[in-house]
Amino acid sequence: MKKPSQNPSRIDKQARDYGASIPFDRRLYRQDIEGSIAHARMLAKQGIIAGSDAAAIVKGLNSIGKEIERGRLQFKVELEDIHMNIEARLFEKIGETAGKLHTARSRNDQMALDLRLFVKEETRKTIGTITALQISLVELAAANKDVIMPGYTHLQQAQPVLLAHHLLAYFEMFQRDKERFHDCLRRTDVLPLGSGALAGVPYPIDREFLAQQLGFSKVSTNSLDAVSDRDFIVEYEAAAAIAMMHLSRLAEEFILWSSTEFDFIEIGDAFTTGSSIMPQKKNPDVAELARGKTGRVYGHLMGILTIMKSLPLAYNRDMQEDKEGLFDTVDTLQASLEVFARMVRTVKVNTERIAQVMKTDYILATDLADYLVKKGMPFRKAHGVIAKLNEYAATRGKTFRELGRKEYREFSPLFTGDVYDITSASSVTARNVVGGTSPQQVAKALRRARRLIKR
C-alpha cells in the first residue's frame, strides 16, 4: 500500500489551488460556525470535553463570525475550505483547546450539515419570494377582473377568457412550486452531524440534542447515506428549474403582450430599457433576462445529477462541485422572483386595445357550435357547420355579428334571432364550472388565492 501524503507543502501549488473550495464555500461560514457551536456544547454536555473548553471554543467561534462579517478575516487558499480556515483562526485565538472541537466529527458530516442548514434557510426564503410574486399577480388580476381577452392555443386566438383567469393560471403554477419547495424542505430537515467520515463515531454523542440545537426535526439513520446524500440539493435545483420554467413562460407572455403587434400591456419604465440607436424602443429586458437565466438553472440541475450519477459510497471529492451550481441557482431564482414581483406591479393593461382585438369575433366559433348542439345537432356536425360559416364570413370580410339572419340559415335552419345574443361576455359567463373562466368562478379563484397566500 502506498503511504498517503500528509504534508501539504508537498502538494503542487496549481493542484492545491485547483482543489481549494474556499473561494466559494466561504459563503457557508455562518452555517459552519452555527454547527460548530452546537457540536462544542454537545461535547461538553456529554462530558467528552470540559465545559470550560467548550465555552472558550464558543466564544472564539462567535468572535470569528464577527470578523468575517466585518471583512477582517483573511481567507487562505492553502487552508483549502471554510472548515479549515475557521479552525485555523480558532487555534490563533484560543490555542490548543481549538483542537478539541473536531472530536467526534469529520469534515464529511460537517459539510453535509452546513449544506443542509443553507438549503433549509434558502428554501424558506424561496417560498417567501414566490408568495410575494403571487401577491402581485393576484393584485393585477383583481384590478382587471372584468377584462375579457383572447385565450390562445398554438398562439392562435381560441376562446374568450377573463384576463384575471389567465393571470391566475400562473398563480396556480407558483402554488405548485411552493408545494414542491415545502416538500424539499421536509427531506432537507434531517441532521447528518454525528455520522463521522462514514461509519459513525466512537463517542457517546447526543444527536437528538444536536438536532434540537440546530433546528432539525429528525436525525439521519444511516451514516454512509448521511455523508454522501445530496438528494436535497438535487431536489432544490429541480424545484428551482420548474419554477424558472414557469417564470420563463410568464416572461414570454409579457414580452408578447408588450409588443407593438399585441399592445395588451405596458411594463413600467423601471423594468425596461431603450435602444442605443432606436429611440422609439422600449425593450422588456427583465423578462428576457429571466427567460435566458432559466437555461443556467437547468444547466446546474443537469450538473449535479451528472456529478452524483456514478459515485460509490461514501464521500468522494467530486462532491465538492455540488456548491457553485447550488449557490448560483439560489441567487438566480431568488433575484428573478423578486424582480418579477416588483415588475408585475408596474404592468398597465391596455383595455381599449384588447377590446378592439375582441371585435373580430371569430373567436366565438366554439360558442356558435355549442349553440347548435343545444338545439339538438350533434357536436361533430355542428363543428363542421361553423367551420364552413367561418370560412364564408372571412372570405367576405364580415364578422359573425355582421352576418344576416338569412345568411346564418343557409348553413342551418336551427339558427334564429337569438344567435346574436352570443358575445364574448356571454361566452365567459357560460363557462361557470369549477376552474372555468366565468366571472363567478374567477371571483372564487381570487378568494381562494388570497386564502392560500395568508396560509
| Helix, strand, or coil (residue 266) | strand
Cell of 222: 444511516
Q: Check if 275 is active-site.
A: yes
From the number of C-beta atoms within 10 Å of its C-beta (0-12, 13-18, 19+), residue 390 rates as middle
Element containing residue 219 per DSSP (H, E): strand 218-219
Nearest CA-CA partner of 181 in 333, 338, 343 = 333
Cα–Cα distance list, 455 to 129, 177, 449 (Å): 15, 15, 10
Distance between CA atoms of 73 and 392, rounded to whole angstroms?
A: 79
288: helix, coil or strand?
helix
Question: d(Cα 112, Cα 187) in Å, to the nearest integer?
Answer: 13
Selected catalytic residue, list 9, 154, 276, 310: 154
User: CB-based contacts of 208: which residues, under 8 Å, 6+ apart?
Assistant: 219
Instruction: Give the pairing type, strands 265-266 and 190-191.
Output: unpaired
Residue 383 annotated as catalytic: no
The secondary structure of residue 151, as a DSSP letter, is: E
- Residue from 52, 63, 217, 275 carrying the catalytic annotation: 275
Residue 226, SS3? helix
The residues pairing with 219 across neighbouring beta strands, listed in sequence order, are: 191
Q: What radius of gyration, in Å, describes the C-alpha atoms of the chain?
A: 31
> What is the grid cell recorded at 246?
414557469
Classify burial at 130, counting beta carbons within 10 Å of its beta carbon; exposed 0-12, middle 13-18, buried 19 or more: buried
Contact indicator for 309, 318 with CB cutoff of 8 Å: no
Catalytic residue numbers read 154, 275
